[in-house]
Structure 1
Amino acid sequence: MNIQMLSELATKGEVRELELLSLEGGFYLARIRLDHVEITLVGDDGKPMRIGSTTHLRNLLQRVPPFPCVLVQHCVHDEMCGVREGPVDALRIPFSLNSSF
């Protein structure tokens, strides 16, 4: 899904959530969740768009109607050290595309 398609779906109210996934290497990927599918945001080259920060995402989507967003970070330390028993869930932090928040 490219930004134009995301904008069209957001205008129709079909975007349920955008997950900004924090990845090793200091960049993020955006996953858009619709009713029954999750799709990665891609650039003009058709490859997953590498996003540098929440500010970068806000700049990319400044003309897109707002929808819920969440920053997703996995806790590698807990997985490596085995501190907790059972599955380790990702840290999910809601944020807004509005730069004033």
Structure 2
Amino acid sequence: MNLHQLNTEARAGHVNELNLIAIEGGDYLLEARVNGRAQPLADSQGKRLRVRSVEEARELLKPLPMMSMNLLHWSVQDEMCGMGQHPEEDLKVPISPRSAW
């Protein structure tokens, strides 16, 4: 899904939420939940859309309608030594799609 398609789906009311997923190296990926299904956002070359910060994501999404947005960090418990068996819990924090500055 590209930004134009996201805009169309958002205006139609089909976007449940938008997730900004933190990945290694300080980058973030954008994923829309459309009608309950995950739809990764792609750039103009069809590759996964990466942004460097929450503010860069907000700037990119500024022209689009307001949507529920979350910052998502995957669980790191499975990578930690000696943690034993714990249920995997991702961190999902609601954030404002518009800058607080």
Using structure 2 for the length normalisation, give the TM-score.
Answer: 0.89
- CA distance 1:84–1:34, shift in 2 (3 Å): farther
- Mapped to 1, the partners of 2:61 and 2:37 lie a distance apart of 21
Aligned to 2:42: 42
Aligned residue for 1:42, secondary structure, equals coil
Which digits, 9 at most, give the CA deviation of each residue in 1:10-43, with x for residues without a partner? 1111100111110011101111101142110000
CA shift for structure 1 position 100: 2.6
Aligned residue for 1:46, secondary structure, equals coil
Runs of 4+ in 1 over 4 A off after TM superposition: none
- CA distance 1:57–1:75, shift in 2 (3 Å): same
Letter in 1 for 2:74: H
Using structure 1 for the length normalisation, give the TM-score.
Answer: 0.89
**Number of aligned residue pairs:** 100
Unpaired runs of 5+ residues, structure 2, are none
- CA distance 1:82–1:34, shift in 2 (3 Å): farther
Letter in 2 for 1:46: G
Aligned residue for 2:57, secondary structure, equals helix
Which digits, 9 at most, give the CA deviation of each residue in 1:26-67, with x for residues without a partner? 101111101142110000000001111110111101110011
Aligned to 1:73: 73
| Equivalent runs, 1:8-87 vs 2, <5 Å | 8-76=8-76, 78-79=77-78, 80-83=80-83, 85-87=85-87
Letter in 2 for 1:10: A
Unpaired runs of 5+ residues, structure 1, are none
Aligned residue for 2:59, secondary structure, equals helix
